[in-house]
Structure 1
Amino acid sequence: MKAFALIPLISCGLLSACGGGGGDSDNTVVETSVNAGTDLQIIEKTEFTITAQGSPADGTFSWQQVSGPSLEGFPLDGAEQTLTAPDVKTDSEIILRVSYQSTGSSAVSDDISISVSSNNQLPLAVVTQTSPETLPSVYKDTVTLSALESSDPDDNGQIDSYLWQLLSGPDLDIASFNESTLSFSHPLLESNVNLSWQLTVTDDEGGEASTQYSMTLNKTNELVDANAGADQNVEEFEEVTLDATNSETVTDTYQCKWQQLTGNSETLSNSDQCTTTFFASDVDTESTLSFEVTVTDSKGRTDTDSLFVDVSPKALGLINDSGVGECYNNTQRINCESDDFPAQDAELGRDSYANRLDKVGKGNLAFDYTKLNQFADEVGDDSSDFTCIRDNVTGLVWEVKSESSGVLPNTSLREGQNHYFWDLGDTTFTDTSTANSTCPDDTSCGVQSYINEVNNLDFCGGTNWRLPTYTELLGLIDYGKQGQSILIDEVFFPNMPSESALSHLRYWTSQTAADGTSLSQAYIIDMSDGNDLAYPKENTAYVRLVRSR
């Protein structure tokens, strides 16, 4: 392409001076032009020359790049330029523009197009084995093949992707065939096996190259490898799974046989299967179980492996559960595993493990009571001759009331029908006029008088009898008996008073009710419905004493 511009030129006649006062003058227009040259087709990274021509000849040339992959050095001055084509990933076009300006004229310009062809060099695929450090590899070694030494000879090229293919050899457990490295575990082999791999690498311009790599995996001396699994840490009552399915043999099939070596005897669901389960037994302290599996292949070859299971006590606390062992929806009993009514009392806490608790004595669900005689010695669970009860969960010893022998106040000291007002600690009143009224005491029917008399007897081997706290007394309530007239286990706590005597079964606790206005009330718990109540201390209620061992 050629660009032009017109400029006027003035010439003087021979007969008249140019500066004279008259005569004709000649105005001539001179054309200015520039030509950037013929469009070029070149290959990347090669030298090429561009030459511009301008008219009239006294002008100056200036080059600039308009578009395309960047060339170094622009802008440039001068008609002729020698340049080096850039390294391109794909065929590209560069537009250069030359501007030309002669004396007294405006600048003119022209463009030249330079087509640059990509000349990609194919990558080089290289495979090396980088692990294990000691060769040859053996069973269970991690074998790693690397393609990181593969390269792209282009100055600014790089490898974009990798593809591994196993052309021959056994099935291997490989996470990915598209990474720069490939790893697998040396398998169990009855004889040496040759593996053949093909690696294909692709560069950032789409160029591909492949190579093949051969290696040998050696046979294994022991052809059965038993795997009992990792050691485990569980809590009591948890279901434990023993899994030997990661064992290996060179035959297609194998059998397993589990046996317990040490620890509390557990019942395996199926000791002849490679996967078996059991529920960890009730433990009081940390304990360890050990198990062994024997794996036998179809040719009778065997191997054994063992594992340890550490069992710790579950954090069930040192108080009794509620005694509720069933789950309900809004209207009826349901399976406790229902997702519509989750986290019910029967599926939480100590009671939910009642059928697996290793009890010292007996009791409903998780309640665990032992009968004691008058000397605090244990007697049989079925004995009818007992004086107090040891709660094996809390460790507390409870008073058992004696049989009714008469009508108030002509009763014996520890009869269940006796009832007392609350006069412990800093109370606001003292009432000695109550002697031999609701109890057979000659001094007062206050709680303190009763406690003193029982401690003077060295009753059931102790002199530290007292009123129970709110929490201690509540721990005797069995809410699973809801709807019955008495919510305490009468097998262990017989001789309950007749509810008609006081129209309730309220028992004192040792805790004053801080109601914000006075200290005139203490908490009671009603054994007929399980409710608590802040109760005036001058009123009477029943008493069941307790002591720590």
Structure 2
Amino acid sequence: MNRTKILPFVLGLLLAACGGGGGSDSGSNTENASINAGEDVTVLEKSLFSLSALVSPSGGTVSWQVLSGPNVEGFPQEGMEIEVTAPDVKSDSETVFKVDYLAPNGQVVSDQVSVFITSQNQLPIPVVLQTLPSEGQSQYLDTVELSAAESSDPDENGQVVGYLWEQVSGPTLSFSSTTEQTLQFVHPLLVTNQAAKFRLTVTDDEDGSASTEYSVTLLKADQPVIADAGEVQTAIEFDTVTLDATQSKTASGQFSCLWQHLVQTGQNTMVTINEPSQCITQFVAPDVDVTTELSFQVTVTDPNGYSATDTVTVNLEPKALGLIQDSGLDTCFDASTEIDCDDADYPEQDADIGRDSVADFLDKVGQGRAAFDYTKLNEFADELPDTASQFSCVRDNVNGLIWEVKLSGTGTLPNTDTRDSINHYTWHIDRVSDAAYPGSVVSPANSTCPSDTDCGIQAFIDEVNASNFCGGSNWRLPTYFELLSLIDFGRQGDSHLLDPDFFPNLPDAAELGHLYYWSAQTSVDGRSLTQAFILDMQTGNDLAYPKANTAYVRLVRTP
């Protein structure tokens, strides 16, 4: 501090003769009072030092007080010389003292002195304790916790305000935070015992810091490889299922995988895994009829040759495909061209949903294009090879229905076989009580069929049942949806929409100008019951058709 001090007593006399002075003036013949607090000083915090003042004339009262700076205990106080204890400060500080002198003649003069207090910080004391696990030595997957809570600051009014943890050596560890009072990590998977060394640095409120080191012994695992095949899954047949073993653990973090399907006793469902040597791989869920449990095992191997296995279960459920054949459409289209069935602008087309969408994965009993599944039968309803060229009936393996297979070229109407493809009939069906259904029409015998009774549908049904054809006497006219299930719309552009491998010998469309086949459904148009639905095997369209007209017939029965 640069200040002009009042000079000693002799100089004071000269100033008095000139009329000057540092305090109040009580008369022209009175000596002027003066005071000098001395030079500024520098001291250490909490140390004892003295302040003294030179005054003139003597005999008055000297008083001291703190003007600014840290608080100093014991002030104000009086005395020519006083002893002061420097306060405890957090950083270098300045305290300004003011001293007043009341001279015997009543004059008051003052001076100031600065005391520069140097902070003398004591460094904090770092202490590390292991607080977790609470009992015994840590093992693989245990949470290890180191605490610096016992660290302290020896300064009376000091405290620890900062922590910094650093790993000096040891295996790679992961920490959520390294600046808190505690440090936590998960005991890693190790193949040998290893020491992890840490350095703790603590900082006090005066920015002083100190460090210490601490070691933790981490034990090797009983199993150097932990295989993890993932959680139990539930999937639908034909879904793409993902197998994931990436959560497996090894000491190095590196490993290879090998998957295999564990076939259970009595189970014949086989699965082909796309890439069995990949830790993440997939398979297409196979065709199942009931909920089926599949098991998959992964073998995980680390670079040192250590390995372990784990198994995951996939509960496989049947897809709700229904008990009817699909449309046979296996391609998708926009307004004009073929497109990918995954195109979001044209969703849920026939080829993208239902049985045909998973045709490639179906476990068929027999054969058939797209999702169709048929088995050829002989005249006794015994199964024949798919390659058989001579067969009497066809079983639909989806809904179990057995269909009549027509004969061809047996003669010229009316001299044809009962089941010749060119025979055609009016719509006439009897009730169980032998009363005809409303609207039934009987066509004359031998007019469009070889029957000597009549050429109504019921006459044909009776003749086939009487022969116990294909081992059954419960043949009937199919319903609308049963007949529709035979139509393969994927055969558009062909001469008809039935699979010729299973339904040969269709009549020439030129014979009647159409390929209409009767269904058992009467068309209720609100006016009469004179029409029934037919299905056109050339186009797949349906039509309400007069029962008095003739159309072709293909009988069906249940097993």
| TM beyond 0.5 | yes
Q: Equivalent residue for 2:416?
A: 411
Structure 2 counterpart of 1:324, from 322, 325, 329: 329
2:491 aligned partner, one-letter code: K
Structure 1 counterpart of 2:460, from 450, 453, 468: 450
The offset of 1:196, in angstroms, is: 4.1
The offset of 1:517, in angstroms, is: 2.5
Asked if 2 retains the 8 angstrom alpha-carbon contact of 1:432 and 1:445, the reply is: yes
Moved more, 244-253 or 311-320: 244-253
User: What aligned pairs does 1:126-141 form with structure 2 within 5 A after superposition?
Assistant: 134-141=135-142
2:496 aligned partner, one-letter code: I
Q: Equivalent residue for 1:282?
A: 287
Q: Equivalent residue for 2:470?
A: 460
Q: Equivalent residue for 1:191?
A: 193
Q: Secondary structure at the match of 1:453?
A: helix
Distance 1:126 1:501, change over 3 A: farther
Structure 2 counterpart of 1:505, from 490, 507, 515: 515
Moved more, 520-529 or 269-278: 269-278
Distance 1:254 1:452, change over 3 A: same
The offset of 1:493, in angstroms, is: 0.5
Deviations 1:474-524 (CA, angstroms, capped at 9, x unpaired): 110100011222011011001111111221111111111222222222111
1:468 aligned partner, one-letter code: P
Q: Secondary structure at the match of 2:510?
A: helix
Structure 2 counterpart of 1:355, from 357, 360, 366: 360
Deviations 1:120-170 (CA, angstroms, capped at 9, x unpaired): xxxxx99998876654332123557899999xxxxxxxxxx9998554564
User: What aligned pairs does 1:153-302 form with structure 2 within 5 A after superposition?
Assistant: 167-168=167-168, 170-172=171-173, 185-189=186-190, 190-194=192-196, 196=198, 217-251=218-252, 253-263=254-264, 264-302=269-307
Larger Rg: 2
The offset of 1:217, in angstroms, is: 3.8
Asked if 2 retains the 8 angstrom alpha-carbon contact of 1:432 and 1:443, the reply is: no
Deviations 1:380-404 (CA, angstroms, capped at 9, x unpaired): 1111110000000111000001122
Alpha-carbon distance in 2 for matches of 1:388, 1:446: 22
Q: Secondary structure at the match of 1:309?
A: strand
Alpha-carbon distance in 2 for matches of 1:147, 1:510: 89
Q: Equivalent residue for 1:480?
A: 490
The offset of 1:450, in angstroms, is: 1.1
TM-score by length of 1: 0.67
Task: Report how many residues are paired.
Answer: 422
Q: Secondary structure at the match of 1:499?
A: coil
Moved more, 179-188 or 330-339: 179-188
Distance 1:535 1:431, change over 3 A: closer
Alpha-carbon distance in 2 for matches of 1:421, 1:362: 34
Q: Secondary structure at the match of 1:352?
A: helix
Moved more, 424-433 or 264-273: 424-433
For structure 2, the 5+ residue unaligned runs are 1-67, 71-125, 152-160
The offset of 1:260, in angstroms, is: 2.7
Alpha-carbon distance in 2 for matches of 1:532, 1:149: 90
Asked if 1 retains the 8 angstrom alpha-carbon contact of 2:439 and 2:547, the reply is: no
Distance 1:216 1:431, change over 3 A: same
The offset of 1:232, in angstroms, is: 2.2
1:367 aligned partner, one-letter code: F
- Percent same amino acid among aligned pairs? 52
Distance 1:182 1:369, change over 3 A: farther
Alpha-carbon distance in 1 for matches of 2:483, 2:496: 14
Alpha-carbon distance in 1 for matches of 2:440, 2:303: 89
Alpha-carbon distance in 2 for matches of 1:235, 1:452: 45
1:440 aligned partner, one-letter code: P
Q: Which has the higher strand share?
A: 1
Moved over 6 A (4+): 125-131, 144-150, 161-164, 175-183, 197-201, 209-214
2:285 aligned partner, one-letter code: A
For structure 1, the 5+ residue unaligned runs are 1-40, 44-124, 151-160, 202-206
Q: Equivalent residue for 2:391?
A: 386
1:232 aligned partner, one-letter code: Q
Asked if 2 retains the 8 angstrom alpha-carbon contact of 1:127 and 1:199, the reply is: no
Q: Equivalent residue for 1:333?
A: 338
The offset of 1:302, in angstroms, is: 1.9
Q: Equivalent residue for 2:379?
A: 374
Moved more, 141-150 or 320-329: 141-150
